[in-house]
Amino acid sequence: MKRYYFDLYNSDGLVADETGEFFESRDRARAEALRILHDVARDEMPDRDLVKITVKMRDEAGTEAFEASLTLNAAWSS
């Protein structure tokens, strides 16, 4: 099993993951990155018209292994 770290970038800046989590495969670590992205988006989107959230996943060596981003831009037409 390998340890992966999930750094979050949102409107508050960087929230670095200092502890990481162990996963039995890259696919399971990827699923966790997407779950984090979903959870943060659900918490932040109702209150803002412009939201950009990124989760960057690092491996044990500190090398970026995966990145997922979500952007919401909401505006009235009139």
Tens of pLDDT, residue by residue over 45-69, are 777 788 899 999 999 999 999 999 9
pLDDT tens digits, residue range 7-40?
999 888 999 999 999 999 999 999 999 999 999 9
For residue 58, is it within any domain? yes
Rounded CA separation 63/68 (Å): 15
The answer to whether residue 78 is domain-embedded is no
Q: Is residue 34 assigned to a domain?
A: yes
Whether 13 is in a domain gets the answer yes
Q: Does residue 33 form part of some domain?
A: yes
Q: How far is CA 65 from the centre of its chain?
A: 13
How far is it, in rounded angstroms, from Cα 78 to Cα 69?
29
Please give the residue range of the domain that contains residue 64: 2-73
Q: Residue 33: is it exposed, middle or buried by C-beta count within 10 angstroms (0-12/13-18/19+)?
A: buried
Q: Is the pLDDT of residue 75 over 90?
A: no
**What was the pLDDT predicted at 49?**
83
- The count of structural domains within the chain is 1
